[in-house]
Structure 1
Amino acid sequence: MVSNSKNPGKARRLMGIIAVILFIVVLVVSVLLFENPPKGKRTDAPESAFSADRAFVHLTQIAKQPHTFYMPENENVRSYIVEQLQGLGLDVDLESHPIVYNRGNGNEQATLHNIIATLKGSLDGKALMMSAHYDSVAKGPGANDDGVAVAALIETARALKAQAKPLHDILFVITDGEEGGLLGAEQFWLGSKYKDRVGMVANFEARGASGPSLMFQTSSGNGMLIRGFASVAPVPVSNSFLADIYRKMPNDTDLTVSLRTGVPGLNFAYVGSWDKYHSAEDTIDHVSKATLQHHGDNALAVASHFGAMDVSGLKDSDMEYFNVYGKLVYYPQSLNLPLAILLTVILIALTAVFIGKRAASIGRVISGIGFVVLGFLLSALISLGYYELLNAINERIGMSFYHFSFLAITLIVHVLLSLYLRRTRNELEMVISASFMFLFLVYVVTFLLPGAGYMFGLPLVAHCIVLGFLIASKDPSAALRRSWMIMLLSVVPGLLFTTLFHLLFMAMPPRVNVVCAVLFSLNLFLIYPLTSNIAALLKGSGRTRSTGKARFSV
Structure 2
Amino acid sequence: MKTWAALLVTLVAAMLLGIVAAQPPGPLGTDAPADTFSAGRAMADVRAMAREPHPTGSPANDVVRAHLTERLRAMGFSVRQVAVPLPAKAVARARQWGVVDADAASAVNIVALRPGGDPAAPAVAMMAHYDSVGSSPGAADDAAGVAAALEIARAIPREAQTRDLVVLLTDGEELGLVGARGFFAEGTTGDPLAGRIGAIVNMETRGGGGRAFMFETGPQAGRMIDLYRNVVRQPSTTSMAVKLYSLLPNSTDYTAALKRGIPGFNLAFTGRAGLYHSPLATPDNLEQGALQHLGSQGLDLTRALLTAADLPAAAPDVVFGDVLGAFTFAWPPAFGWLLIGAAALLTIAAGRRAQGQWRWSGVAGGVLDGLGFAAAAAALLYFGNLLSGADGETNYYDRLAALPRLEVQALLLFAAGLAVALALLPRRRTRWDGWLGLAALNLGIALAVQVMLPAAGAIFTLPLLLATLVMAAAASRPTLATPLAMGVAVLALAWLGGLAHSVLLGIGAGMPSVAAVFAPLTLLLLWPLLPRVSRRSAAVAALLLVAVAGGLALWVRLDPVAASVPPFPPKG
Q: Counterparts of 2:208 and 2:16 in 1: how far apart (Å)?
A: 22
Q: Secondary structure at the match of 1:201?
A: strand
Q: Which moved more, 1:141-150 or 1:279-288?
A: 279-288
The superposition leaves residues 467-506 of structure 1 with CA deviations (integer Å, 9 ceiling, x where unpaired) of 3334446xx6xx68x5324314514522430221231344
Q: Counterparts of 2:265 and 2:339 in 1: how far apart (Å)?
A: 29
Is 1:231 matched with 2:226?
Answer: no
The superposition leaves residues 447-475 of structure 1 with CA deviations (integer Å, 9 ceiling, x where unpaired) of 332221101111221223233334446xx
Superposed, 1:8-47 pairs within 5 Å as: 13=2, 16-47=3-34
Q: Counterparts of 2:414 and 2:520 in 1: how far apart (Å)?
A: 6
Q: Secondary structure at the match of 2:10?
A: helix
Q: CA separation of 1:458/1:142 partners in 2, compared to 1, >3 Å: closer, same or farther? A: same
Match of 1:74 in 2: 61
The superposition leaves residues 502-529 of structure 1 with CA deviations (integer Å, 9 ceiling, x where unpaired) of 3134444345544335524641243223
Q: How many residues are matched?
A: 519
Match of 2:156 in 1: 160
Q: Which moved more, 1:147-156 or 1:427-436?
A: 427-436
Q: Counterparts of 1:65 and 1:451 in 2: how far apart (Å)?
A: 41
> Does structure 2 retain, via aligned residues, the 8 Å contact 1:54–1:155?
yes
The superposition leaves residues 242-265 of structure 1 with CA deviations (integer Å, 9 ceiling, x where unpaired) of 212211211101111111211111
> Does structure 1 retain, via aligned residues, the 8 Å contact 2:129–2:146?
yes
Q: Counterparts of 2:246 and 2:45 in 1: how far apart (Å)?
A: 33
**AA partner of residue 126 (structure 1):** P
List, as ranges, runs of 4+ consecutive aligned residues in structure 1 with deviation greater than 6 Å. 392-399
Q: Counterparts of 1:309 and 1:534 in 2: how far apart (Å)?
A: 60
Match of 1:121 in 2: 116
Q: CA separation of 1:392/1:325 partners in 2, compared to 1, >3 Å: closer, same or farther? A: closer
The superposition leaves residues 408-451 of structure 1 with CA deviations (integer Å, 9 ceiling, x where unpaired) of 33334323432442513212222222222222222222233222
Q: Which moved more, 1:45-54 or 1:127-136?
A: 45-54
Q: CA separation of 1:52/1:386 partners in 2, compared to 1, >3 Å: closer, same or farther? A: same
Q: Counterparts of 1:76 and 1:527 in 2: how far apart (Å)?
A: 57
> Does structure 2 retain, via aligned residues, the 8 Å contact 1:130–1:202?
yes
Structure 1 residue aligned with 2:169, among 174, 196, 218? 174
Q: CA separation of 1:34/1:491 partners in 2, compared to 1, >3 Å: closer, same or farther? A: closer
The superposition leaves residues 1-44 of structure 1 with CA deviations (integer Å, 9 ceiling, x where unpaired) of xxxxxxxxxxx63xx32233223422442343234212222222
Superposed, 1:203-218 pairs within 5 Å as: 203-218=202-217
Q: Counterparts of 1:222 and 1:369 in 2: how far apart (Å)?
A: 38
> Does structure 2 retain, via aligned residues, the 8 Å contact 1:38–1:291?
yes
Q: Counterparts of 2:309 and 2:73 in 1: how far apart (Å)?
A: 26
The superposition leaves residues 154-209 of structure 1 with CA deviations (integer Å, 9 ceiling, x where unpaired) of 11111113x75211111111111111111111111111110111111110000100
Q: CA separation of 1:535/1:523 partners in 2, compared to 1, >3 Å: closer, same or farther? A: farther
The superposition leaves residues 364-398 of structure 1 with CA deviations (integer Å, 9 ceiling, x where unpaired) of 22232223112111112123333333449999999
Superposed, 1:297-316 pairs within 5 Å as: 297-316=296-315
> Does structure 1 retain, via aligned residues, the 8 Å contact 2:203–2:268?
yes
> Does structure 2 retain, via aligned residues, the 8 Å contact 1:127–1:169?
yes
Q: CA separation of 1:196/1:507 partners in 2, compared to 1, >3 Å: closer, same or farther? A: closer
The structural deviation recorded for 1:146 is 0.6
Q: Counterparts of 2:412 and 2:286 in 1: how far apart (Å)?
A: 32
Q: Counterparts of 2:25 and 2:325 in 1: how far apart (Å)?
A: 11
Match of 2:247 in 1: 248
**AA partner of residue 196 (structure 1):** G
Q: Secondary structure at the match of 1:147?
A: helix
**AA partner of residue 443 (structure 1):** L
Superposed, 1:465-544 pairs within 5 Å as: 465-472=469-476, 483-511=482-510, 513-520=512-519, 522-534=521-533
Q: Counterparts of 2:454 and 2:33 in 1: how far apart (Å)?
A: 42
Q: Counterparts of 1:71 and 1:256 in 2: how far apart (Å)?
A: 25
Match of 1:53 in 2: 40
> Does structure 2 retain, via aligned residues, the 8 Å contact 1:118–1:170?
yes
Q: Secondary structure at the match of 1:67?
A: coil
**AA partner of residue 48 (structure 2):** Q
Q: Secondary structure at the match of 1:92?
A: strand
> Does structure 2 retain, via aligned residues, the 8 Å contact 1:20–1:486?
no
Match of 1:6 in 2: none
Q: CA separation of 1:401/1:431 partners in 2, compared to 1, >3 Å: closer, same or farther? A: farther
Match of 2:181 in 1: 186
Match of 1:138 in 2: 134
Q: Which moved more, 1:236-245 or 1:97-106?
A: 97-106
Q: CA separation of 1:508/1:312 partners in 2, compared to 1, >3 Å: closer, same or farther? A: closer
Superposed, 1:440-455 pairs within 5 Å as: 440-455=444-459
Please give the root-mean-square deviation of Cα atoms over the aligned residues, in Å. Answer: 3.0
Match of 1:111 in 2: 106
> Please, which runs of 5 or more residues in structure 2 have no aligned partner?
96-101, 539-572
**AA partner of residue 130 (structure 1):** M
Match of 1:428 in 2: 432
The structural deviation recorded for 1:275 is 1.4
Q: CA separation of 1:28/1:222 partners in 2, compared to 1, >3 Å: closer, same or farther? A: farther
Q: Secondary structure at the match of 1:45?
A: coil
> Does structure 2 retain, via aligned residues, the 8 Å contact 1:324–1:495?
no
**AA partner of residue 330 (structure 2):** Y
Structure possessing the higher radius of gyration over alpha carbons: 1
Is 1:413 matched with 2:417?
Answer: yes
Q: CA separation of 1:345/1:461 partners in 2, compared to 1, >3 Å: closer, same or farther? A: closer
Q: CA separation of 1:535/1:455 partners in 2, compared to 1, >3 Å: closer, same or farther? A: farther
Q: Which moved more, 1:319-328 or 1:54-63?
A: 319-328
The superposition leaves residues 23-80 of structure 1 with CA deviations (integer Å, 9 ceiling, x where unpaired) of 3422442343234212222222222222212211111121122222232322221111
Q: Which moved more, 1:411-420 or 1:196-205?
A: 411-420
Q: Counterparts of 1:454 and 1:189 in 2: how far apart (Å)?
A: 35
